[in-house]
Amino acid sequence: MGAITRRGALGLGAGAAAAVGLVGCGSENGSGEPGRAHGSKGSKGSGKDGSPKPTATARPLGDGSTSFTGKQPHQPAKPEPLEPGQEPPQFVVFSWDGAGEVGNGLFPRFLDLAKKHGASMTFFLSGLYLLPESKKRLYDPPNNPRGASDIGYLTDEHVKMTLENVRRAWLEGHEIGTHFNGHFCGEGHGSVGRWTPAQWQSEIDQAKGFVKEWRTNTGWTDLPALPFDYDKELVGGRTPCLLGQDNLLPTARALGWRYDASSPGGRQVWPAKKQGIWDLPLQAVPFPGHSFEVLSMDYNILANQSINSTNAPAHNYPGWREQASQAYIQGFKRAYETNRAPFFVGNHFEKWNGGIYMDAVEDAFKHIAREKENGADVRIVSFRQFVDWMDVQKPQVLEKLRTLDVGQQPAGGWKAFTQPETATPSSTASAA
């Protein structure tokens, strides 16, 4: 991984210290382990090999890298609009940037965790993680040399592991979004923050192409196809380091995307659309022991704990792990006990500082899952599933939900708050 750098505050208000506004992620390879320097670069329904079976007879697409297998399994019931007087569910989305498996077992670890608790997640796949390094010159990144990447290319064996886990993830009900390709951050000419809408179109076309043509690019014929049509599956993403959203959105909208998770820091309130796309940012959450808040991502917590080190002295790890766990848990509790705003968590498959951030997010996940299993209306879903719910709600209900500030309970309780507005006699008379 390249050096972790601090960034200024991102408009989160006077109560937020500069530490809140750190970039959304560092430069990482498939595991979040240190990569290259900038500029270089068996269960029920299982098959014989223990992998999940497609939902129907597969129909190959293109070169056979992907296939149509029918409706995605393990999806929630069709969402319904809130009834008058009904309190909204507490939605929680765990998402993963990069989504590469490099043999450290992190991708299957969290698939197993989600399966155990009946949860769905979103995996933002970096397209380069399905492109062999021997074919890196197929990648033509905007404003950068051909084949360049600020994350390392995976080994062939790790590309195969990534394919296996992406396939499993979709068959177990998870969403496959995109983290695009070369992860170019910073302030220079090549940064994604400087790309035009047309350049974002090129980046997306290539990210999709590496997924849809991995068989051609690798020459491998002994691996099963990915069981989805990526042109239809891909409805949202998160940009590298949360940069470039303004110029991405016109392209995303033209492509029919439904959401974007790239805003550079948000608050725990009900979301709205930006340029016709649901804007679903990482959120500032309580940071135990500090007067400021921190963005809900492993990288941002790390940058506030060990500044620019992913291998700080080990005596710090127990306290930092607990601090990270409690940041997520307190963020969840604040939403659940007040405005019920959806809670978004972002992570990488990494082993920074002894793997404490992976342990922390698992601790938080289990805490939230226990609430669900104890009868609370808590739903651990993908971003796609969340916007499915948002899209069927009455606009006036969503507008009212957005009036609730961070940590604000509805006046008079949910039963009164979500009742439809009733016209007063005077307003009825004047309307007549």
Q: Which pLDDT tens digit goes with each residue over 314-354?
A: 999 999 999 999 999 999 999 999 999 999 999 999 999 99
Please check the confidence at residue 5 and state whether its pLDDT lies above 60.
no
pLDDT score of 419: 87
Its sign, for the CA torsion 138, 139, 143, 149, is negative
Please check the confidence at residue 167 and state whether its pLDDT lies above 50.
yes
pLDDT score of 15: 29
Its sign, for the CA torsion 197, 199, 201, 203, is negative
Q: Which of 1-15, 71-85, 376-390 has the lowest mean pLDDT?
A: 1-15
Rounded-to-integer distance, Cα 222 and Cα 212, Å: 16
Please check the confidence at residue 37 and state whether its pLDDT lies above 90.
no
User: Are 308 and 5 spatial neighbours (Cβ–Cβ below 8 Å)?
Assistant: yes
Tokens 């299982």: give the residue: 46
The per-residue pLDDT of the chain, averaged, comes to: 88
Question: What band does 54 get if pLDDT is binned at 50, 70 and 90?
Answer: low
Tokens 């809670």: give the residue: 343
Beta-carbon count within 10 A of 195 CB: 24
User: Are 335 and 268 spatial neighbours (Cβ–Cβ below 8 Å)?
Assistant: yes
User: Are 238 and 95 spatial neighbours (Cβ–Cβ below 8 Å)?
Assistant: yes
Question: What band does 264 get if pLDDT is binned at 50, 70 and 90?
Answer: confident
Residue 274's SS3 state is: strand
If you average pLDDT over residues 120-136, what whole number do you get? 98
Tokens 């404003």: give the residue: 143
| Phi, psi dihedral angles at 241 (to 5 degrees) | 55, 20
Rounded-to-integer distance, Cα 385 and Cα 120, Å: 9
| Phi, psi dihedral angles at 324 (to 5 degrees) | -65, -45
Please check the confidence at residue 14 and state whether its pLDDT lies above 50.
no
Question: What band does 425 get if pLDDT is binned at 50, 70 and 90?
Answer: low
Which residues are paired to 273 by β-bridges? 278
pLDDT score of 231: 97
Tokens 């290539």: give the residue: 206
Rounded-to-integer distance, Cα 236 and Cα 114, Å: 21
pLDDT score of 179: 98
Tokens 């209306």: give the residue: 377
Q: How far is CA 213 from CA 65, 124, 208, 394, 428, in A?
A: 6, 18, 8, 41, 62
pLDDT score of 53: 61
Its sign, for the CA torsion 195, 197, 198, 201, is positive
Among residues of the chain, what percentage have pLDDT more than 70? Answer: 84
Among residues of the chain, what percentage have pLDDT more than 90? Answer: 82
Rounded-to-integer distance, Cα 208 and Cα 212, Å: 6
User: For residue 49, what is the DSSP state?
Assistant: T
**Structure token pair of residue 277:** 């796309």
If you average pLDDT over residues 375-381, what whole number do you get? 97
Tokens 């995605």: give the residue: 72
User: Are 169 and 100 spatial neighbours (Cβ–Cβ below 8 Å)?
Assistant: no
Over residues 113-126, the pLDDT tens digits come to 999 999 999 999 99
pLDDT score of 55: 55
Higher pLDDT, 365 or 418: 365
Helix (H), strand (E) at residue 327: helix 317-336
Say if strands 66-68 and 122-125 run parallel, antiparallel, or are unpaired. Answer: unpaired
User: Are 336 and 330 spatial neighbours (Cβ–Cβ below 8 Å)?
Assistant: no
| From the candidate CATH numbers 2.40.10.220, 3.40.50.9100, 3.20.20.370, 3.50.70.10, the one assigned to the domain spanning 90-404 | 3.20.20.370
User: Are 71 and 36 spatial neighbours (Cβ–Cβ below 8 Å)?
Assistant: no
Rounded-to-integer distance, Cα 100 and Cα 129, Å: 6
Over residues 199-215, the pLDDT tens digits come to 999 999 999 999 999 99
Q: Annotate 59-79 with b (16+ C-beta within 10 A) or e (fewer).
A: eebbebbbbbbeebbbeeeee
Rounded-to-integer distance, Cα 6 and Cα 20, Å: 10
Tokens 């608790």: give the residue: 117
Please check the confidence at residue 94 and state whether its pLDDT lies above 70.
yes
Over residues 63-80, the pLDDT tens digits come to 999 999 999 999 999 999
Please check the confidence at residue 21 and state whether its pLDDT lies above 50.
no
Question: What band does 420 get if pLDDT is binned at 50, 70 and 90?
Answer: confident
If you average pLDDT over residues 148-156, what whole number do you get? 97
